[in-house]
Amino acid sequence: MTLIDRLTRFLLPAMPAGDIADYPFVASDVALYHRTLHGGGGALDAQTWDDMLLPQYSAQLARGTSILGQQELHRRLHAPADGGVEVAASAARVRTLLDDAGQRALLLTACEGLRRADREVSETLFGAAPAPVPRWAPYLAWLPVAFLLSAVLALVSGFLPLWGVTLGLWLSLSLVQMRFGEAASEWGRILKTLQQMLRAHTLLSKIDSALTAGLRDDAARAGKVNRGIGRSPMADLPGAREYADWLWLMNIRHYFNSREVVRANLDLLRASFRRIAALEADLALARHLADAPRYCWAQQGPDVAMTNAVHPLLAEPAPLSFAFERRGAFISGQNGIGKSTLLRTVGLNLIVARAFGFSYADHAVTPALPVYSSMQNEDALEGGESLYIAELRRARELLALAARAPAIFIIDEIFRGTNHLESISAAAAVLHTLSASGRVLVSSHNLVLAPLLADALAPWCVGRVDGQLRLGPGVLKETNGIALLASRGFDAAISAKANRVHGWLSEYMAHPADCETVLG
């Protein structure tokens, strides 16, 4: 062990004993970095995030990653397209990590301590600047001294008024502790995360890798700041912390002093956060892809085309190939064939390609466009919003997004909450308008929409060929909604009646004057 290594171990805060236990951060904490930087805007909105099962996907992607890496992955998924510069740079780093498992393990070990963090710090670093320390804060060190001197003088002299001074000083100590004690405790959690970040900064800078070169120039300053915001090891002695805090106000004084250190070094702390979060995110992606059974580096282009694409959350996904024209697609298929899974597969792969540069396919061509969806509209009992009203609200949101900038819109069973004729009419109007300024992928059982939208959306049908899912041009010919009645345990008489009604409706639509009642 070199002298530098020994000094590093001595000067850096010791790692806590025990196994690493990843703190279960809530979704709002993970999203805070993106919200602080971009105000919550970007290439995804809340409904698309849920529709595309991105909470589950993000949890899978970020397993074993600290809050910094989780926040960076979340930011990349939401970040507006930047022309692919950031994505290309990240993809190059991930490829390097994929090709060198030894370097990957070394970097992961250096970042390991970050997983002990139980407090997110992005809001502290990138939000509003910390308030200045009160002007009287430097004088806090004299308050305990004055208290002890007054107590000693009162005991020695027996002068009763001095006991009043002593009592007043004791109350002042207590008031300061009560006023700032909780804030100091919360600030202490923030400092622990910052210290782990700076410790990782120093350890990573010592690794001979091109991926850590940006951390070396200010590694010495990072170590100095780390020591500047830490408390004395003496404070961890049994009983010493309580005595030091309540009598000497060490926690409050450290709170104010360390805030000033953070204020003075925000540039370093922000840069350190960005670099380490980016490296952790790249490590998470490399570790994820190393275990992925199928992926490719996506090519950017105007079309949407994928070969043998799969959904990464499915245990046994059925690969599916497709190539959608720039004008969009109307997708039909039998009940239960997998239209919704297809839409989620397309959507998630488009989002991942835009954010990370890869897709879960053998080959992929994707445009760098934001993706918005409407797939899980439901009744909202709390807000008194019916299904149709929820669908209308979402459709209005999508139209507003389409008017703002080009995007890809993924829609499943639009306008289920109203009668058949009005559903088709409203759907045709909305989808046609959306397709004029964006690219629409929509699935529906209302097959009459296909000819109504033929000038805007190419018809495609999902089916099975030799047991495998296939997507081909055209509209569904053989429906199975009534056939499923028998397979789901309905009485044969119900199926027979349903078939009679279906036949009557078909004839009525062709020759309404010649039809008599069918159920009477």
Query: Is 78 part of a structural domain of the chain?
Result: yes
Domain identity same for 181 and 246: yes
Range of lowest pLDDT (392-401, 484-493, 501-510): 501-510
Query: Is 126 part of a structural domain of the chain?
Result: no
Q: Please give the torsion angle defined by the CA atoms of residues 223, 229, 230 and 232, in that order, rounded to the nearest 10 degrees.
A: 120
Tokens representing 359?
Answer: 């897709």
Residue 512 confidence class, pLDDT cut points 50, 70, 90: low
Residue 10 confidence class, pLDDT cut points 50, 70, 90: very low
Query: Is 233 part of a structural domain of the chain?
Result: yes
Residue 510 confidence class, pLDDT cut points 50, 70, 90: low
pLDDT digits (tens, 9 = 90+) for 244-254: 888 889 999 99
Q: What's the CATH code of the domain at 346?
A: 3.40.50.300
Domain identity same for 358 and 412: yes
Residue 508 confidence class, pLDDT cut points 50, 70, 90: low
Domain identity same for 255 and 108: no
Query: Is 125 part of a structural domain of the chain?
Result: no
How many domains is the chain partitioned into structurally?
4
Domain identity same for 340 and 449: yes
pLDDT of res. 386: 85
Q: Which domain holds residue 187?
A: 131-276
Q: Does the pLDDT value for residue 105 go beyond 90?
A: yes
Give Cβ neighbours of residue 127 (< 8 Å, ≥ 6 apart). 36
Query: Is 198 part of a structural domain of the chain?
Result: yes
pLDDT digits (tens, 9 = 90+) for 266-299: 999 999 999 999 999 999 999 999 999 999 999 9
Long-range contacts of 206-210 (CB under 8 A, 24+ apart): 206/8, 207/103, 207/106, 207/107, 207/110, 209/103, 209/106, 209/107, 210/96
Closest CA to 348 of 65, 52, 15: 52
pLDDT of res. 145: 92
- Full-model pTM: 0.88
Task: Report the interhelical angle of 85-99 vs 101-111 (nearest 10°).
Answer: 110
pLDDT digits (tens, 9 = 90+) for 225-240: 999 999 877 666 666 7
Domain identity same for 352 and 443: yes
pLDDT digits (tens, 9 = 90+) for 65-91: 999 999 999 999 998 766 678 899 999
Q: Is the dihedral of CA 148, 150, 155, 161 positive or negative?
A: negative
Query: Is 136 part of a structural domain of the chain?
Result: yes
SS3 for 117-168 is CCCCCHHHHHCCCCCCCCCCHHHHHHHHHHHHHHHHHHHHHCCHHHHHHHHH
Mean pLDDT, range 479-491, rounded to an integer: 78
Q: Does the pLDDT value for residue 11 go beyond 50?
A: no
Domain identity same for 272 and 148: yes
Range of lowest pLDDT (177-191, 293-307, 369-383): 369-383
Query: Is 333 part of a structural domain of the chain?
Result: yes
Domain identity same for 141 and 172: yes
Residue 335 confidence class, pLDDT cut points 50, 70, 90: confident
Q: Does the pLDDT value for residue 441 go beyond 80?
A: yes
Domain identity same for 340 and 432: yes
Tokens representing 83?
Answer: 């022309």
Question: Which runs of consecutive H residues, i.e. helices, occur in 329-374?
Answer: 339-356
Give Cβ neighbours of residue 329 (< 8 Å, ≥ 6 apart). 440, 441, 442, 457, 458, 459, 460
pLDDT of res. 378: 65
pLDDT of res. 77: 95
pLDDT of res. 373: 95
pLDDT of res. 235: 64
Domain identity same for 390 and 434: yes
The rounded mean pLDDT for the chain is 87
Q: How far is the CA of 273 from the CAs of 33, 194, 198, 445, in angstroms?
A: 11, 9, 9, 49
Domain identity same for 385 and 426: yes
Q: Which residue has the tokens 């410790």?
A: 199
Domain identity same for 347 and 453: yes
What is residue 464's three-state secondary structure? Answer: strand
Distance CA 348, CA 199 (A): 36
Distance CA 278, CA 65 (A): 12
Query: Is 493 part of a structural domain of the chain?
Result: yes
Q: Does the pLDDT value for residue 132 go beyond 80?
A: yes
Distance CA 311, CA 153 (A): 78
Q: Does the pLDDT value for residue 494 go beyond 90?
A: no
pLDDT of res. 247: 85
Residue 333 confidence class, pLDDT cut points 50, 70, 90: confident
Domain identity same for 284 and 341: no
* Identity of the highest mean pLDDT range in 232-236, 386-390, 439-443: 439-443
